[in-house]
């Protein structure tokens, strides 16, 4: 359940970055959605366990910190993708 929330939150941030901030404007909205979803997944699945306790109280419970870190991860990957495009044109 958490993975779906992280991916959807990342995709929503990718859409907002495309629509409002014009990130990845030349590559299209699909790239923003994919980068946002991947950043959300990596932020929630890789970074969140490093910041939380090793034994959560509820194994599959909703974690607001995980959602926050997934959003930050999505924003970071979108910014990195935009910088790579501006620098290398890829």
Q: 38 near 80, Cβ under 8 Å?
A: no
Domain boundaries along the sequence of the chain: 2-52+65-88
27 burial type by CB count under 10 A (0-12 exposed, 13-18 middle, 19+ buried): middle
CA distance linking residue 42 with residue 87, whole number of Å: 24
Q: Give me the tens of pLDDT residue by residue for the chain, a chain 90 residues long.
A: 788 999 999 999 999 988 888 777 788 899 899 999 999 999 988 898 888 776 666 666 677 888 899 999 999 999 998 888 889 987
CA distance linking residue 55 with residue 8, whole number of Å: 25
Q: 36 near 12, Cβ under 8 Å?
A: yes
Name the pTM for this structure: 0.86
């Amino acid at each position: 359940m958490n993975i779906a929330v992280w991916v959807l939150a990342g995709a929503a941030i990718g859409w907002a970055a495309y629509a409002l901030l014009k990130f990845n404007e030349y590559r299209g909205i699909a790239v923003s959605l994919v980068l946002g979803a991947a950043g959300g997944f990596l932020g929630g699945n890789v970074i969140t366990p490093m910041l939380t306790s090793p034994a959560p109280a509820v194994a599959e419970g909703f974690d607001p910190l995980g959602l926050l870190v997934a959003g930050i991860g999505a924003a970071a990957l979108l910014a990195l993708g935009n910088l790579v495009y501006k620098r290398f044109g890829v």
